[in-house]
Amino acid sequence: MRPQPASDWQGEIPLPGIVAEFYEQIGPWGRVHEKHGPMGLSIAAGGNPVDIPTLKDLWSRQACYRWHGNTGQRLPDWQEHWLVVATEGSNPFMLDTMTGQVYFALAGGKPDFRLFAPDLLTAFTAIACVANTMRELDEQAFDDTCELTSAARARVVQDLDSLMAGSADASQMLAAWRWYC
């Protein structure tokens, strides 16, 4: 983590205040590559890692969501106030900059976003909580066929519910995320 000033923003739209505040206070910096600089965070939470870019790279991560990745043509189903703030594989976590809420959708086709968290900090705190629990469970999280065990799922829900302490529902968050559904 490292605070990142709003001047790092490379976007074609004004930097939303809630995003600027998050990067100034939290600043997902990640490891530093000798040629490319900071790589952002990659959080192993089961399945594909959740990647959170640096502020400098956040705008370029809108490709394939806001605009076509090859042609640069604006995609008609993408709303102006949506901003991809993280991805799991190619599945986006989207911040609605008007409401501050974070949604998740599976990639491909028309976006089918489901409410994941009431705000950016809650979203990333929840993802980190799941990652910490999965790291603690290690190989015990999975059965002989590499499927998530019911005990592991229950532990993730319990830890996430404890962390959220009534501010969000763990089961609903995991369902919106489609986490091991």
Q: What is the pLDDT along the chain (181 residues), one digit of tens a residue?
A: 999 999 999 999 999 999 999 999 999 999 999 999 999 999 999 999 999 999 999 999 999 999 999 999 999 999 999 999 999 999 999 999 999 999 999 998 788 999 999 999 999 999 999 999 999 999 999 999 999 999 999 999 999 999 998 778 999 999 999 999 8
**Residue the block writes with tokens 């910490």:** 132
CA–CA gap between residue 174 and residue 180 (Å, rounded): 8
Whole-prediction pTM value?
0.95
Q: Largest Cα–Cα distance in the chain?
A: 50
CA–CA gap between residue 55 and residue 105 (Å, rounded): 22
* CA distance readout (Å), 92 to 33, 49, 88, 149: 24, 12, 6, 26
